[in-house]
Amino acid sequence: MTTLSTIPSQLNVGLMGLGVVGTGVASILLNKQESLAGVTGRPVNLKKVLVRDLTRPRVIDLPDDLLTTNAEDILADPDIHILVEVMGGVDPAESYMKQGLAAGKHVVTANKEVMAKSGPELLALARKNEASLLFEASVGGGIPIVGCLMNELAANDVISIRGIINGTTNYILTAMAQHGTSFQQALGEAQSHGYAEADPTNDIEGIDAAYKLTILASLAYRSRFQPDDVYREGISKLEPQDFQYAQELGFAIKSLAIANLEEGAVQLRVYPALLPTEHMLAKVDGVYNAVEIDGSLCGQVLFHGMGAGREPTTSAVVGDLIEAARKMGAQHASPLYINEGTTNVPVRSIDDLESRYYIRLAVADRPGVLAKIAKVLGDGQISIASVLQKDVHPETESAELVITTHPAKEAPVQKALQAIAGLEEVRRVSNTLRIEE
Ligand SMILES: NC(=O)c1ccc[n+]([C@@H]2O[C@H](COP(=O)([O-])OP(=O)(O)OC[C@H]3O[C@@H](n4cnc5c(N)ncnc54)[C@H](OP(=O)(O)O)[C@@H]3O)[C@@H](O)[C@H]2O)c1
């Protein structure tokens, strides 16, 4: 634990991980020493770097004695004041963070999974040990959203958060919208450009976005949420026609992460949705991220920028490192950012969502089909806003119907969709998407 009387004349950093992000951080620590000393008030020295494989070729030249495969070289060194965890994964990253905090080291992390699952415990440990735990890079890469929710926007009651917080899915959806490509083609392209991993599940199924939304919502509502509280749908069911019809109706399709407070409960959801093309978030393309916060005092604030990649993420990690360095010796515990107990703001079920819907159906090309579908919807108190009839396929005698609804409750809509799928004239309920206003 650092006290005023023990503020070191030089700050030593232990870096855990030398991959995409770690290399960027190491490069700044080695090449920007003067500027770092200027903003932190003392020299900042990279003392040890933990990796898995010492023989792996590195894109950065480091002094030979800097690399280690032994975490104890960082954790057990009392002269290392700040631990930067950019290894990823839960095990052993979380345990190293805990050991670092328990030893009074300040910890900076980019690890969304650990922060989403165990952030409150880690923050409690940081408070207990009068250490900082900073995690700006865990959401939105170079976009300063975490710090803003903790500090600059903290006076607000947050009404809603809406964001595009996964660059890989946004890249895929942009390619599908702009080039009419299939999901598989767009995913292959994202992989060949290095935007998607060999196993893209976490991105395309919304798991990564759910981790990030959990972190943002926990900060915004000062409550404890878990990734499992997030209702989640992936993007793999989208087809090129959805983008074409959405465009005809005046909408873009984006994978959105949404948290909103209604009647004292928070609803958390990640899914592809239709957004009016003139909406700011509809214009966020490619690997870019954006987050819109609606606050009781600040109104709507939009953050936009590069949500991943070496340099943007390094910007967030080194920014946190500077903050931790500046706080050293301040002799106060970390503020309470999240309620560290169990959830105190209830989570609202997706069944209670009220939304407009886009429904695409393959139906028999016969008179009276639309009337039957309209009756099922009407029975569920769901009123139709518009209907497009598309692509009659003579060989299968089927047509495509695209229906948009006025606002309706999720549970009756799902029930009506089941009934519609059971109609003899309906070949397939091809897709159902929610429409965000
Ligand atoms: N990449 C991005 O754009 C980005 C953006 C925002 C947040 N993040 C987060 O930043 C973190 C790091 O991501 P990354 O893309 O930099 O990962 P990465 O390229 O895979 O690098 C991981 C590094 O950690 C080391 N490592 C992993 N497990 C280890 C272990 N058990 N013991 C010792 N060293 C270990 C690896 O060592 P070797 O090199 O020897 O294999 C490697 O240097 C993750 O939490 C990620 O979610 C990344």
- What does the pLDDT average to over 119-142? 95
pLDDT tens digits along 34-64:
999 999 999 999 999 999 999 999 999 998 8
Equal fold, 4-141+310-327 vs 146-306: no
Is pLDDT at 321 greater than 70 in this prediction?
Answer: yes
Strands 251-262 and 158-164: antiparallel
**Confidence label for 437 from pLDDT (cuts 50, 70 and 90):** confident
> Which residue ranges make up each domain of the chain?
4-141+310-327, 146-306, 353-435
Cα 232 to middle of ligand 1, angstroms: 25
Phi–psi pair at 26, nearest 5 degrees: -60, -40
What residues pair up with 16 in beta bridges, in sequence order?
50, 85
DSSP codes, 360-371: EEEEES-TTHHH
What's the pLDDT at 270?
98
Query: Which ligand 1 atom sits closest to the C-alpha of 114?
Result: 45
Cα 137 to middle of ligand 1, angstroms: 13
CATH code that applies to domain 353-435: 3.30.70.260
pLDDT tens digits along 171-182:
999 999 999 999
pLDDT tens digits along 263-319:
999 999 999 999 999 999 999 999 999 999 999 999 999 999 999 999 999 999 999
Separation between Cα atoms, residue 10 and residue 299, nearest integer Å: 42
- What does the pLDDT average to over 388-401? 84
Separation between Cα atoms, residue 296 and residue 431, nearest integer Å: 35
Confirm or reject: Cβ of 313 under 6 Å from ligand 1: yes
For 4-141+310-327, give the CATH class.
alpha beta
Query: Which ligand 1 atom sits closest to the C-alpha of 58?
Result: 39
Cα 85 to middle of ligand 1, angstroms: 9
Cα 24 to middle of ligand 1, angstroms: 11
274: closest CA among 112, 82, 435, 88?
Answer: 435
- What does the pLDDT average to over 390-400? 81
Percent of the chain with pLDDT over 70: 97
Query: Which ligand 1 atom sits closest to the C-alpha of 208?
Result: 47
Query: Which ligand 1 atom sits closest to the C-alpha of 20?
Result: 16
Confirm or reject: Cβ of 97 under 6 Å from ligand 1: no
Cα 355 to middle of ligand 1, angstroms: 39
Cα 52 to middle of ligand 1, angstroms: 10
Tell me which residue has its CA closest to atom 41 in ligand 1: 52
Confirm or reject: Cβ of 356 under 6 Å from ligand 1: no
For 146-306, give the CATH class.
alpha beta
Confirm or reject: Cβ of 128 under 6 Å from ligand 1: no
Catalytic residue IDs: 212
Q: Which of 23, 27, 51 to mutate to test the pocket of ligand 1 (most atoms within 8 A of CB)?
A: 51
- What does the pLDDT average to over 119-125? 95
Phi–psi pair at 305, nearest 5 degrees: 170, -170
What residues pair up with 285 in beta bridges, in sequence order?
none
pLDDT tens digits along 341-382:
767 899 999 999 999 999 999 999 889 999 999 999 999 999
Cα 372 to middle of ligand 1, angstroms: 55
Confirm or reject: Cβ of 307 under 6 Å from ligand 1: no
- In this structure, the dihedral spanned by the alpha carbons of residues 185, 187, 192 and 196, taken in order and rounded to 10 degrees, is 180
Confirm or reject: Cβ of 317 under 6 Å from ligand 1: no
- pTM, 2 dp: 0.96
pLDDT tens digits along 221-265:
999 999 999 999 999 999 999 999 999 999 999 999 999 999 999
289: closest CA among 137, 141, 111?
Answer: 141
Element at 301 (helix H, strand E): strand 299-306
Tell me which residue has its CA closest to atom 18 in ligand 1: 19
**Confidence label for 9 from pLDDT (cuts 50, 70 and 90):** confident
Confirm or reject: Cβ of 17 under 6 Å from ligand 1: yes
Separation between Cα atoms, residue 27 and residue 381, nearest integer Å: 60
Strands 251-262 and 106-109: unpaired
Confirm or reject: Cβ of 86 under 6 Å from ligand 1: yes
User: What separation in angstroms does the CA of 227 have from each of 133, 168, 208, 343?
Assistant: 20, 19, 9, 12
Is pLDDT at 5 greater than 50 in this prediction?
Answer: no
Q: Give the tokens for residue 36.
A: 């770092």
Confirm or reject: Cβ of 19 under 6 Å from ligand 1: yes
Separation between Cα atoms, residue 221 and residue 316, nearest integer Å: 22
13: closest CA among 87, 74, 70?
Answer: 74
Of 79-88, 390-399, 401-410, which range is least confident? 390-399
- What does the pLDDT average to over 104-122? 97
Cα 38 to middle of ligand 1, angstroms: 29
Tell me which residue has its CA closest to atom 21 in ligand 1: 19
> According to the 3-state scheme, what is the secondary structure of 1-36?
CCCHHHCCCCEEEEEECCCHHHHHHHHHHHHCHHHH
What's the pLDDT at 240?
96
Separation between Cα atoms, residue 113 and residue 125, nearest integer Å: 18
**Confidence label for 4 from pLDDT (cuts 50, 70 and 90):** very low
Task: Count the Cβ atoms, other than its own, within 10 Å of residue 347.
Answer: 19
Confirm or reject: Cβ of 53 under 6 Å from ligand 1: yes
Percent of the chain with pLDDT over 90: 89
Query: Which ligand 1 atom sits closest to the C-alpha of 85?
Result: 11
Is pLDDT at 2 greater than 80 in this prediction?
Answer: no
Query: Which ligand 1 atom sits closest to the C-alpha of 316?
Result: 6
Is pLDDT at 333 greater than 90 in this prediction?
Answer: no
Confirm or reject: Cβ of 22 under 6 Å from ligand 1: yes
**Confidence label for 337 from pLDDT (cuts 50, 70 and 90):** confident
Computed over every residue of the chain, the mean pLDDT equals 94
What's the pLDDT at 344?
85
Q: Give the tokens for residue 274.
A: 């239709």
152: closest CA among 22, 286, 293, 255?
Answer: 293
Is pLDDT at 97 greater than 80 in this prediction?
Answer: yes
**Confidence label for 331 from pLDDT (cuts 50, 70 and 90):** low
What's the pLDDT at 329?
66
Query: Which value, in Å, is the radius of gyration of the alpha carbons in the chain?
Result: 25
Could you give the maximum distance between any two Cα atoms of the chain, in Å?
Answer: 85
Tell me which residue has its CA closest to atom 9 in ligand 1: 110
